[in-house]
Amino acid sequence: MVTKVPSRPAAPRRPLRVLLATGVAATALAAVPHTAEAQATADPKSGPATLTVAVSQSIDSLSPFLAQKLTSTSIHRLAYEYLTNYDAKDARTVPGLATAWTSSPDKLTWTYTIRKDSTWSDGKPATAEDAAWTFTKMMTDPNAATANGSFTANFRKVTAPDPQTLVIELKKPQATMTALDVPIVPKHVWEKVGDFSKFNNDKEFPIVGNGPFVITDFKVDQYIKLKPNKSFWRGAPKFDELVFKYYKDGDAAVAALQKGEVSFVPNLTPAQADALKTQKNIKVNDAPGRRFFAIATNPGAKARDGKAFGNGHKALLDPEVRKALFLAVDRTTIVDKVFQGHAVEGEGYIPPRFGSYFWKPEGAQKRAYDPAKAAQVLDAAGYRTDADGKRLGKDGRPLSFRILCHATDPNDKAIGKYLQEWWGKLGIGLKVECLDSVSDPWVKGDYDLAFDGWSVNPDPDYVLSIHTCGALPATPKDSGATDNFICDEEFDGLYAQQAVEYDAAKRADLVKRMQSRLYDTGYMNVMAYPNALEAYRTDQIASITTMPSAAGNLWGQDGYWSWWSAVPVAAEADDTDGSGGSTGVIVGIGVAVVVVAGAVLLLRTRRRATADDRE
């Protein structure tokens, strides 16, 4: 389904929850062949049609084995196929590189049928051997498991008996096997790589892939360019070129949109969105978001070998201090004043968009804004104020914290000022440290607090896994997969249970209990769930698909639908025979399902923003 460009901005619509679970196993899914209704190209007289997307986040790596930032992983979705994909309409699992899958009765062996019509952009066929090599490399080389190692941690063995058959053997059941969100790479290219920790895949272009686009050029903090993959099995994209152009300043990106220099801008501020709504040829998309905005507390950075590092403030190890800070954050003001109503007050870790997993505290557990109670908590815990009203730590020195702030995010700066005011009334000082990149101090543990946030996916496994003890770096010199160095035995136990639970209701309950535990520890203070505020030029993009198609986002999708489906205005105007150019493309995929009792199909996708940026 396509979101057509209306004459005026459409009102926000509520999204659909995206979890598929059945009491039987979906053992084969055959996609109805996709045909685009609009295959027109740009008017030759006006030159090639280029779709330019403004981004504010740097590329951390073009290696699928290292990349963790949202911009990077979004580009990998365009360049490489995954085993499965997610329908744009409702995010149900649909075939990707795999056309069908079955599990053994004990759910320890999964067999995938690999499609015959997928080829690498250098002309070689994409086969099960490529998938087996990708997963095995992640299992055997720690440097290849940096970005997606949690997907293969439970794998025992991966083989390819023939070009169209992939077999994955597990150590124990894994409830997320129908959504292994890992880019499959070409073995014949990547087997030549030496040190995976240093190879960023950014020296030779075009980069060989089998997705809808091919990466053709890249300049750090300038741009990344892609061309349509003409041999893509689902059909080539309509634009002649896709460019992601870097803008450090959000206002500069909006100005470029107004001038027609870029086609699309994500992550608008409410003020920018309101101003653009009155602009000719610009459509603002304001939809419920899929990420949360939070304060992360340094719980005492440490590695799996037990060695502590970093310089986090010791007072934050006291749960009573964290509780007091929690009580002194006014979420209503943040939503009304900072986000100007384009957000929902934060509570649990999973946004309300994902209904079955959404959790919120009730009764005495809930920490509503109550500065008087916050002061009482600190007093009772022995943190007294001196004659000047400054709150003193157990060492007798005034309490003063630092919070890492993203220099490119106006929300960080605005909320930072409120926190200085609110916590200042408690006698606690706060230094807002706004940096172009917060990654270095973050991974070193050199912070007290930080503005944090992740884009959550239909299946929450990944964003929960980053708070497990296993995600900590092996030693202080390593990076690990942790978000915030949290290591809690109770949380880990619940995570292990949900990972093998195939009953949807029972698994959802475990996920809610994990959020409850995370809330109680006070290491993560979820303040808001921001809307997706983005805009594009209707005189450049004739039609484009949101996800969910009924009321969703364009940037950061669980798939490649937005940029793959986008139709240039010139292409639509060229459709003079009524063949469908004016209706854009159809992205919803019909799926025929063959079911066998005893198995289950669960969605799991990961799309994350890192500590360095939360696009």
Q: Based on the fold, state whether residues 221 and 349 are members of the same structural domain.
A: no
Query: CATH code at 81?
Result: 3.40.190.10
Unique residue bearing structure tokens 């499959």: 184
In the predicted model, what is the mean pLDDT of residues 107-114? Answer: 97
Query: CATH code at 350?
Result: 3.10.105.10
Q: Identify the pLDDT of residue 305.
A: 94
Examine the pLDDT at 606 and tell me if it is beyond 60: no
Closest by CA to 405, choosing from 358, 373, 437, is 437
Examine the pLDDT at 576 and tell me if it is beyond 60: no
Q: Based on the fold, state whether residues 314 and 397 are members of the same structural domain.
A: yes
Amino acid at 408: T
Examine the pLDDT at 328 and tell me if it is beyond 60: yes
For residue 496, being part of any structural domain is answered with yes
Which percentage of the chain shows pLDDT scores above 90?
73
Residue 480 φ/ψ region, left for φ over 0, alpha for ψ in the -120 to 50 degree band, beta for the rest = left
Examine the pLDDT at 287 and tell me if it is beyond 70: yes
Contact 586, 1 (CB under 8 A): yes
Q: Based on the fold, state whether residues 457 and 475 are members of the same structural domain.
A: yes
Any idea what the Cα angle at residue 443 is, between residues 154 and 64, rounded to 5°?
50
Q: Based on the fold, state whether residues 477 and 545 are members of the same structural domain.
A: no
Which percentage of the chain shows pLDDT scores above 70?
85
Contact 51, 568 (CB under 8 A): yes
Any idea what the Cα angle at residue 545 is, between residues 544 and 548, rounded to 5°?
160
For residue 17, being part of any structural domain is answered with yes
- Least confident window among 12-21, 459-468, 520-529: 12-21
For residue 145, being part of any structural domain is answered with no
For residue 158, being part of any structural domain is answered with no
For residue 582, being part of any structural domain is answered with yes
- Return the half-sphere exposure (C-beta side, CA atoms, 13 A cut-off) of residue 441: 20
Q: Based on the fold, state whether residues 430 and 506 are members of the same structural domain.
A: yes
* Phi, psi at 101, each rounded to 5°: -155, 145
Examine the pLDDT at 377 and tell me if it is beyond 50: yes
How large is the greatest C-alpha to C-alpha distance in the chain, in angstroms? 82
Q: Identify the pLDDT of residue 47.
A: 63
Closest by CA to 506, choosing from 17, 92, 23, 178, is 23
Q: Based on the fold, state whether residues 541 and 521 are members of the same structural domain.
A: no
Unique residue bearing structure tokens 């053992």: 27
Q: Which structural domain, as residue segments, surrounds residue 226?
A: 3-104+204-287+534-597
For residue 135, being part of any structural domain is answered with no
Q: Based on the fold, state whether residues 506 and 444 are members of the same structural domain.
A: yes
For residue 154, being part of any structural domain is answered with no
pLDDT band for position 241 (cuts 50, 70, 90): very high
Number of domains in the chain: 2
For residue 494, being part of any structural domain is answered with yes
Single pTM value for the model: 0.77
Contact 263, 53 (CB under 8 A): yes
Q: Is 4 helix (H, G, I), strand (E, B) or coil?
A: strand
Q: Identify the pLDDT of residue 490.
A: 98
In the predicted model, what is the mean pLDDT of residues 554-577? Answer: 82
Q: Which tens digit of pLDDT belongs to each residue from 163-185?
A: 999 999 999 999 889 889 999 99
Closest by CA to 268, choosing from 566, 553, 494, is 553
| Close Cβ partners of 25 (under 8 Å, ≥ 6 residues apart) | 102, 103, 595, 596, 597, 598, 599, 600, 601
Q: Which tens digit of pLDDT belongs to each residue from 71-102?
A: 999 999 999 999 999 899 888 889 999 999 99
Closest by CA to 24, choosing from 590, 459, 602, is 602
Beta bridge partners of 535: 265, 284
- Return the half-sphere exposure (C-beta side, CA atoms, 13 A cut-off) of residue 270: 14
The mean pLDDT value of the chain amounts to 86
Q: Based on the fold, state whether residues 231 and 319 are members of the same structural domain.
A: no
Examine the pLDDT at 602 and tell me if it is beyond 70: no
Q: Which tens digit of pLDDT belongs to each residue from 135-145?
A: 999 999 999 99
Contact 610, 70 (CB under 8 A): yes
- Least confident window among 66-70, 92-96, 122-126, 446-450: 66-70
Q: Based on the fold, state whether residues 586 and 503 are members of the same structural domain.
A: no
Q: Identify the pLDDT of residue 165.
A: 98
Amino acid at 277: K
Q: Based on the fold, state whether residues 77 and 226 are members of the same structural domain.
A: yes
Q: Identify the pLDDT of residue 458.
A: 80
Q: Which tens digit of pLDDT belongs to each residue from 473-482?
A: 999 988 788 9
Q: Identify the pLDDT of residue 502.
A: 84
In angstroms, rounded to a whole number, what is the distance separating the alpha carbons of residues 119 and 99? 15
**CA-CA distances (angstroms) from residue 485 to 144, 153, 490?**
21, 19, 15
Q: Which tens digit of pLDDT belongs to each residue from 493-516?
A: 999 999 999 888 999 999 999 999
Q: Is 158 helix (H, G, I), strand (E, B) or coil?
A: strand
Q: Based on the fold, state whether residues 466 and 378 are members of the same structural domain.
A: yes
Examine the pLDDT at 130 and tell me if it is beyond 50: yes
Q: Based on the fold, state whether residues 344 and 453 are members of the same structural domain.
A: yes
Of 498, 530, 562, the last residue of a domain is 530
Closest by CA to 430, choosing from 442, 418, 446, 443, is 418
Q: Where are the alpha helices (DSSP H) in 305-393?
A: 319-327, 331-333, 371-380
